[in-house]
Chains A and B, each alone.
Chain A
Amino acid sequence: MRALYDDFTRTFGNVLFAVVLFVVWGLLTLIGVIVDQGKDSTVYFQAYAAPLARVILRLNLDNIYHTPYYVGIIGLILLSLAVCTFKRVIPARLPPLRSVAIEKIPLHASIDVQGDPENIRDRVEKFFRARGWHVRKREFGGVEWTFADKHNWARRGVLVAHAGFVIIAAGTSIYWARGFSGDETIVAGQTVSVPHTQTSIKLDGFSYKIKPIVTKSGMIYQPIDYVSRVTATGSDGVPRQAVIRVNHPLDVDGTLYYQSSYGFALRFHVTHGGTRVPALENRDYLTGDEIALPGTQRTIAVAQFVPTVDRASGQASADPRINNPAVFLQVFDNGQAAGAGLVPMKASIDVGGGWRIRPERYLLVSGLQYRYDPGVALVGIGAFVLLAGLVISFYMLPARMFVRLDPAPAGARIALAATTVKGYDIFETQFNELVAQLERDFKPPRPAPKLNLAEAT
């Protein structure tokens, strides 16, 4: 049991194991980038060979980010991170002051200096203090040691980064536990009550602005603005008017409502044998909806709203601004296509069996998304904690100088060695500079050479 536990902590506490987990996490993420997510199964059969499409669907690669293995790998990363943090990172944080074999440390040097050893020791101490090092002195086996630490506190950067990751994970789990989201398609004038909430939203109106622009590769219609004017009634029962546009969501009782899409709804004038059929008339049909003609096998699909029909050709134009609108209707008989046509507003068509249909008016429809996510603040805090950890770990280099003072003829020998948490190479230049400065500090000032004018001429 003990052996098993040791194996577990050794494996999960190993950075290389963490790297393996990262690699798996990365690969799963990459699959999600390459394979379209959340599409209808037919899409995969169109895009890939049948066996591959089956693999994608069977393994849920079409929705990979919510699969047990995706969530599982993040779980394993958190577990590994926790084990590693408690078993490796925290115990290794602040190494004890001890004597070392200076020459065995790759970054080492020694300087012979003259003077009183006690005085030399003080000067060494002052030298490091003046450069922002934290200095402590110890004696081991009769030898005097000075330890200088820089940015020792920054050893905790790893902990900060790891804590940030854990906080983000906690924030996202709060959404899974307590959050919700959804979308509502609201026809102008209509009121919907939003599930999970005590909110009702009435769409007073929707408008959009689109600008035709001549670019170097031709004319495009650039959307400029989408605006929903709504009356929202929250839990306090007070109706409030508000505007929702892209990048400007509306907050009602902590749930946010976003502008996400728009469309059109249609009203039709429907007659059978010359008599109006109110049951079919008093409805808003969204594009994609069907009108089933009672007592027949016929359905009329409201396939598309065409904002602008080109007056010259009578064909749908690419202009999404409303100017001479029409509806594209498809007639099905017993499920079989029986005809289709672009029907201008107010134009009546015969759809067979004594039925006539006339697009009477169109209404704008706004697609709103809503979301309640009580974990957002935590995720945000976690993200910045993680960032702080990264910056600390990257920019603060905890280093320790080991300085040993041995008596030497007419003075002392200062032997120095340096270690850092990131190996030796990263500190080499700085170490060499420090040694050179120290040497200069102890060298008696040389008299300035006198300029001999006679010699110069």
Chain B
Amino acid sequence: MIDTVKPKRLTVSERGPAGSYIIVPVARIAEVREVLDSQNVPYYVDEITISLDGKPPVVFVNLNRKVDPLEVQTLLDARL
């Protein structure tokens, strides 16, 4: 039997008026981009990546203010 570890669910932050964001492990940024691009979701990715306490680095994906975070969450849940 082969054990597989399911990757952590990516969640879209819904807080605040400045637009939502997603904290994405750098190793998964390509697939997240692909999903967002496939639905023409406007976003940009931070230039910086952050690794805390030696954990794998993450990067912030910033969604346009007008994007509905719930729609993007549904999209990520369905595709990733």
B and A form one assembly: no
Question: Which residues in B have some Cβ–Cβ distance to A below 8 Å?
Answer: none
Question: Which residues in A have some Cβ–Cβ distance to B below 8 Å?
Answer: none
